Every structure is written in C-alpha cells, then in structure tokens.
Amino acid sequence: MRSVSTNVAKEKQREERRTRIPSVIDRCPRCNNLGESFMHCLVQCPLAVDVWNQVGITLPFDAADPIPFWRWWLNLMEALQQRSQRRSQASLVANVLWRLWLDKNQRIFERTSSSARTIVAAAVDLNREFHRYHPP
C-alpha cells in the first residue's frame, strides 16, 4: 500500500505535467475533442473507430457506449473467451491499443500522424512478430 506522501508526490507530478503539456489532458490531438479520456483515445475517437473497423475484430458492443475504459476492456476480454482464435485476437487487441496510444503521443510530441490503415498494418505486423516468438 502506498503512503499518503507518495500519492501526494505523484499527484503533484501529474499537475506539473498538466501545466507543461495542457493538450495531453484537455483535447484529443486527432479530432480536437474536448475532455479526452482513455475511452475516447483508444475506442471512440473517429480515427480509433476507423482502426477497429479495419482490424477485423468485431467488438461485441457499440463503441459509443458511455462506459469506462476498464469496463470496455473486461467486456471485450470476456467476449474473446468465446471465440476460437481468442489468443491471437487478444494479443491483436493489445497491439492495436498500443499503436493507437503511440499515434496519440507522436501527434503531441513529434507532430506526426498515422492513418488508420498504417496503424492497423503496424499492429498486425507486431502481432505476427509476437506470435513468431510465442507460439501456442
């Protein structure tokens, strides 16, 4: 269990980050949506919706549902348990999330961006490489 002073120090660091990089907290660097969240960045942003549509994993619910990201994740993992290729699909989901997060950071810190097609291709490549070194 963390001490109170550790939590206070971490909150202070977060506040300093917000001051230095306000766009990280306030606006989506892709669509300029206010009030950005994990759910928006990784699932609901128009680019993320495009990525999920292209990646070939059918989400078992509407991406626009107003649920927190952790609930979305648990629902998706539960749905994948019912599918035959659950291991490769679960790792592909993780790789898509990773590439979406990287794209967001690249837009903020490097002023570069990727298309949905590029993000999907990178996630699929990364997933293929993962399974090459971690066979079933």
When asked if residue 28 is in the footprint of Zn ion (CB under 5 A), the reply is yes
For the bound state, the minimum distance from the C-beta of residue 45 to Zn ion, rounded and expressed in Å, comes to 3
When asked if residue 119 is in the footprint of Zn ion (CB under 5 A), the reply is no
When asked if residue 42 is in the footprint of Zn ion (CB under 5 A), the reply is no
| Contact with Zn ion (CB under 5 A) among 30, 43, 89, 92 | 30
Query: How many residues of this chain interact with Zn ion, rule: CB under 5 A?
Result: 5
d(CA 79, CA 67): 16
| Contact with Zn ion (CB under 5 A) among 8, 9, 21, 31 | 31
Q: In this structure, which long-range contacts are made by residues 47-55, counting pairs with CB atoms below 8 Å and at least 24 apart in sequence? A: 47/100, 47/103, 47/116, 47/119, 48/100, 50/116, 51/96, 51/99, 51/100, 51/116, 51/119, 51/120, 51/123, 52/96, 54/116, 54/117, 54/120, 55/92, 55/96, 55/120, 55/123, 55/124
When asked if residue 8 is in the footprint of Zn ion (CB under 5 A), the reply is no
Burial of 8 (0-12, 13-18, 19+ CB in 10 A): exposed
Give whichever of 110 and 136 is closer to Zn ion, judged by the CB atom.
110
When asked if residue 45 is in the footprint of Zn ion (CB under 5 A), the reply is yes
When asked if residue 104 is in the footprint of Zn ion (CB under 5 A), the reply is no
When asked if residue 33 is in the footprint of Zn ion (CB under 5 A), the reply is yes
Interface residues with Zn ion (CB under 5 A) are 28, 30-31, 33, 45
